[in-house]
Structure 1
Amino acid sequence: MENVDTLKTDVSTPMFDRDQVITSIAHIGVSNFHRAHQAYYMHELIEKHNELNFGICGIDLLDSDRKIYNVLKDQDGLYTLITKDPSGVHQTKIISSIVEYFFGPENPIAVIERLANPDIKIISLTIAEDGYHLNEITGEFDLNHPAVAEDIKNPFNPKTVFGYLTQAFKLRKLRGLSGCTILSCDNIKSNGDTMRQSFLSYVSNVEPDLLNWLLENTTFPNSMVDRITPLTLPEDIETLKQDFLIDDQWPVVCGSFSSWIIEDDFLHKRPQWEKVGVQFVKNIEPYEDMKLQLLNAGHSVLGILGTLNGYKTVHEAANDEDFICFLKGYMDEEVVPVLDLVENLSIEDYKTTLISRFRNPHIHDSLSRICNESSAKIPAFILPTIKKQLAKNQIINRAAFVIAAWCKYNDGVDDNGKTYNIMDSISNKLIRTAALSHQNPIKFLQIESVFQDLYSNDVFTKKYLHYLGYIREHSIKESIIQFNKNSI
């Protein structure tokens, strides 16, 4: 912290005394996204509005998080946020809202005690989809998941967020303390409801005497989060050294657009985030659907199609007019008709902004990151559009084309003959089934954990089989060109 005052004047440095900040938010999962989003908003609120009562205690629970833990401990919780606008205007800011940091594998009891402290009013989460341990077929909490089963056997050395929270809330109850708000900031549908259902399911099976207390002493607001945050590249670290004389071991790069919408359901007094642009609403669903089915689905569309063509980044694919024409058609003809109107927000404006964000040449967001864990993303981002359109007997041509392209994607070879890795928790099944689909084309669509019973819908299946046959005989570029011409 003592080095901040020596930085160049074109770097925004903290304008408040961190020693005066009181920690009342514990955040589990100190990812790049958290540091670009929630920690950024909290920094802005502290700095611009002197709201010193909501500093963040960062907590990581996975062995794989040791590197970021070591980096941020070494940097006193400080890091650089590099914001890159499509116009070329970049901002460099030192974020200082993370004032404490704990690492679960190193000292699980210390983490449990910190979560149990009555000063903590909000426990927020970015633990990614797999951190919720949902059954891949039913979508319900999976008590038989190996990590969950291990927590049940060893409750004081937990591995999952549910194990930690259970022990922390047991202590709060025993000590006569109140509970707190659990705020999921993950990119999943109804994230607060999902967290509530999973946590209460865990508790009802493991600590049933705690259940009624939790029902009275916790809230789980849903939230919608939106900021494009790619992986940090070595050149980002080097640029900071060369241009700004900042030696940051793990800075964060993000786009300039940011949005955070939250259902206003907090147990205690919450931060006045609305002062820094956060929107509070009664019902998150229409905002959530718009974001998941336009931004996240759009990413997946560009990721799958772009990878097959040999592109490496989102902005490469988005600056290909044939690809963006296809994506715009998907949004206009298949997504927008199933979206509810969003108060005070134009869907057309959102789409326009979205295309600009995808095309941002300064954000080197890799398609491999976008395609990572597609077996979880496709059901969340694209299948809801397909199901709603089928229910209304409306167009599903582009969605069927994308699913067919995803089948070909899992062959692992692009149209230039170059191989790429399939990074997915069920990669073996995806690769094997895609291979079998060369002889039995419907086979891929029968992966129940992804598609459920979609293969039984004759309207969709006919389209899917038609496009899969064409895509397997032609390059993805040629296939998209002919599709855009209505020639296939």
Structure 2
Amino acid sequence: MDGLSNASLGRLGQPGPLYDRAGLRAGILHFGVGNFFRAHQAAYLDRLMNMGLAQDFAIIGAGVMPGDEAMRQALAAQDHLYTLVEQSAERSQARVLGPVVDFIAPGDAARLIATMADPAIRIVSLTITEGGYFIDATTGHFDPAHPAIAADGQTPEAPATVFGLIVAGLKARRAAGHPPFTVMCCDNIPHNGAVTREAVVGTARLSDPDLAAWIEAGVAFPNAMVDRITPATSDRERRLVREEFGIPDQVPVFCEDFTQWVLEDSFPAGRPPLEQAGVEFVADVTPWELMKIRILNGGHAVIAYPAGLMDIHFVHEAMENPLVRGFLEKVEADEIIPAVPPVPGTDLAAYFARVAERCANSKIGDTVRRLCLDGSNRQPKFIIPTIADRLARGLPVTGLALESALWCRYCAGVSDSGAVIEPNDPNWDRLTRVAQAARQDPAAWLAMSEIYGETGRDPVFAGAFADWLARLWREGTPATLAAYLGR
């Protein structure tokens, strides 16, 4: 079977680009060409292009990490085409997308900078994961002393980080007399535009304070809320896309049929008419952001760790377990949803019901292990702020303390059955060491100030955490969940 390519498109028998890809012109450079970007931002652009719009906003991918090279090679072999499979509980629908037209190799800083200096590039966007922003969890702000950032400050002409590269690109634009591009973060972090601004300005300040001031005054960093469940691609997905749709794609993307993008409209250099593809433009994205991060992402964490300890593989299987689902529903109703401010035009209970429905979608094949990934970066963003808010208001945190205890118990490295939990966090070795010590001394876990900050020292939270952790070790996850649920 021929591989996926421009030449093979007409023989596939599946929907593909309705536009002439040869006529596309690049207008966006994107860092982080992973599955979420390809199911979300690129899918919106493909939809616009199929309407005859945004032909000058094609996407050039950019790799920074060595691991990006495999994706670059795979996409290049397919003329940068890939298959998106959208799945509801009732049906699956595949289409081939073509808005990505090039992909710059990791390490090619000169080409990246030259591309960003081109005035045709009006947006530089990012999906580099929650942990990619060099945030000091103790302060909650960008850490310019991080060794990678400090190195870019010492040698700004040869940057290695995303932020050093963006600074170099903006410096080249200013030198050429071109207006700056907009920097659009699509990562799942609170106030993502503001966080990105702080990282770019902070990196620039290390080597060129005047440039930093120019960036701070003139570069737009719109905040955004992005949402689409997009699991990792494995041999399972490659086989399904070949057998069910007849597409020989090495890097297909499977995702749910739900998608949402709420975005602040701050694009001085111009933007695609994304509102015509379903993007909601608002003056302040904060209410939507908090809703999604606390209810959906916080909810994912509530599902993840008990399911991981009970050796449940898929998220939909976790939702079929009455203890896991009951835990999610009770923690959301009692503690998470009440800590979410009102969102214009949105019923929060209905929003959560839709979240639960999405998590139960058996077609997605999302794994519990993916939800458990990178807790050291995700917990401070998705769970601990809700705990802190409730403690400040004198409200109970019983269920959220149990979620934290479940995370700690998971990081000890063995499930309830004794099965080994493979490393699942950039800081796994340390987390495992501390989690095992916490079996005898729960305070050791909460003493990780870069994760818990002042919240870990609150006696109400610490007491509830210690009680739940002891019970998890003594009685196991099912019995502990049943006790919490009063069953």
Classify the TM-score, shorter chain.
Answer: over 0.9
Does 1:386 find its partner at 2:387? yes
1:335 to 2:324 alignment: no
Deviates more, 1:164-173 or 1:38-47: 164-173
Query: Which residues of 2 match residues 101-116 of structure 1 at below 5 A?
Result: 101-105=103-107, 107-116=108-117
Alpha-carbon separation, structure 1, partners of 2:117 and 2:174: 9
Q: Equivalents in 1 of 2:413, 2:84: separation in Å?
A: 34
SS in 2 for 1:459: helix
For 2:33, the equivalent position in structure 1 comes to 30
In structure 2, C-alpha distance between the alignment counterparts of 1:288 and 1:97, rounded to whole Å? 27
- What is the alpha-carbon distance in structure 1 between the residues aligned to residue 440 and residue 12 of structure 2? 62
TM-score, normalised by the number of residues in structure 2: 0.96
Hey, what's the Cα distance between the residues in 1 that align with 2:53 and 2:339?
A: 42
**3-state secondary structure, aligned to 1:188:** coil
* Residues 1:479 and 1:24: Cα distance change in structure 2 (over 3 Å): same
Larger deviation, residues 145-154 vs 354-363 = 145-154
1:16 is matched with 19
Preserved contact between residue 221 and residue 264 of structure 1 (Cα < 8 Å): yes
Check whether the contact 1:108–1:156 (CA below 8 A) recurs between aligned residues: no
DSSP-derived class of the 1:91 partner: strand
Give, in whole Å, the separation in 2 of the partners of 1:394 and 1:141.
30
What is residue 52 of structure 1 aligned with on the other side? 55
Distance in 2 between the 1:151 and 1:365 partners? Answer: 37
Indicate whether 1:3 and 2:8 are aligned: yes
2:449·2:456 contact (CA, 8 Å) conserved in 1?
Answer: no
Deviation at 1:257, TM superposition (A): 0.6
Separation in 1, partners of 2:270, 2:109: 28
* 1:403 matched to 2:408: no
Secondary structure of the residue that 1:453 maps to in structure 2? Answer: helix
In structure 2, the partner of 1:94 is: 96
Structure 1 residue 49: Cα displacement: 4.3
2:429 matched residue in structure 1: 428
Distance apart, 1:129 and its partner CA: 2.2
Instruction: Label 1:419 to 1:104 Cα distance change in 2 as closer, same or farther (>3 A).
Output: closer
Q: What is the RMSD of the two structures over their aligned residues, measured on CA atoms? A: 1.4
**CA drift at 1:140:** 2.2
- Matched residue SS, 1:61: coil
Distance across 2 between alignment mates of 1:271 and 1:408: 46
**Matched AA of 1:199:** V
1:1-400 matches, within 5 Å, as 1-8=6-13, 11-87=14-90, 89-105=91-107, 107-400=108-401
* Cα distance change of structure 1 residues 344 and 470 upon mapping to structure 2, 3 Å threshold: same
CA distance in 2: counterparts of 1:406 and 1:211, whole angstroms: 39
Q: CA deviation at 1:421?
A: 1.6
Structure 2 CA distance for aligned equivalents of residues 236 and 426 of structure 1: 29
> Aligned to 1:386, what secondary structure does the other structure show?
helix
Q: Which is further off, 418-427 or 323-332?
A: 418-427
Q: Is the 8 A contact 1:333 1:395 kept in 2?
A: no
Verify the 8 A CA contact 2:405 2:466 in the aligned structure 1: yes
**Aligned residue type for 1:72:** L
Letter aligned with residue 71 of structure 1: A
Q: Deviations over 1:42-100 (max 9, x none)?
A: 0001112433121111111111111000011111110000111122x111010101112
Decide whether aligned partners of structure 1 residues 212 and 461 sit closer, same or farther in structure 2, where only a CA change above 3 A counts. Answer: closer
> Which blocks of at least 5 consecutive residues in structure 2 are unaligned?
1-5
Q: Is the 8 A contact 1:217 1:267 kept in 2?
A: no
Q: How far does residue 245 in structure 1 lie from its aligned partner after superposition?
A: 2.3
Q: Contact conserved, 1:372 with 1:422, CA < 8 A, in 2?
A: no
3-state secondary structure, aligned to 1:182: strand
SS in 2 for 1:243: helix
CA distance in 1 between partners of 2:236 and 2:167 (Å): 42
Question: Could you tell me how far apart the structure 2 residues matched to 1:103 and 1:282 are?
Answer: 36
SS in 1 for 2:418: coil
The alpha-carbon deviation at position 151 of structure 1 amounts to 2.2
CA distance, structure 2, for counterparts of residue 125 and residue 441 of structure 1: 37
Answer yes or no: is the 8 Å Cα contact 1:131–1:160 preserved in 2: no
The percentage of aligned residue pairs carrying the same residue is 32
Instruction: Tell whether the 8 Å contact from 1:446 to 1:453 is kept in structure 2 after alignment.
Output: no
| C-alpha contact (below 8 Å) 1:42/1:97 kept by paired residues | yes
Q: Is the 8 A contact 2:19 2:52 kept in 1?
A: no
Displacement over 4 Å in runs of 4+: none
Name the aligned partner's letter for residue 11 of structure 2. T
Distance, in Å, in 1 between the alignment partners of 2:195 and 2:304 is 27
Q: 1:394 Cα deviation (Å)?
A: 1.5
1:127-178 deviation digits (Å, cap 9, x = unpaired): 1123212223223222222222332343333210111112111111111111
- Output the CA distance in 1 between the equivalents of 2:92 and 2:154: 50
